Amino acid sequence: MTLLQIPDDQAAALKARAAEQGLTLADWLKKLAGMDAMPSKSEGKYRLVDLIARCDATAPISDEDREWLDSPRAGREAL
């Protein structure tokens, strides 16, 4: 887990925004990150089918990803 330190006034503002939705700051940040739909470690390992179901197949490919996809193989990639 990464620790993010922000000034007290900004932390208070974020806590207030979370409280408006009836959430703790940690739960609000997880919700913003889309982590609320992910299984927790206590629920077991991730299943590929669940991860793929969360993907948007219509999302545009970034320039960085396009460059990687178009680059020559460096090992045993299947693409």
Domain ranges of the chain: 9-59
The Cα 28–Cα 23 span in angstroms is 6
| Mean pLDDT per 10-residue section of the chain, whose length is 79 residues | 77 88 84 67 71 87 91 76
The Cα 59–Cα 52 span in angstroms is 13
Tell me the per-residue pLDDT of 28-45, one tens digit each, with 9 for 90 and over.
888 888 776 555 555 567
Predicted TM-score (pTM) above 0.95: no
Give the residue among 40, 44, 20 at the shortest CA–CA distance from 30.
40
The Cα 65–Cα 67 span in angstroms is 5
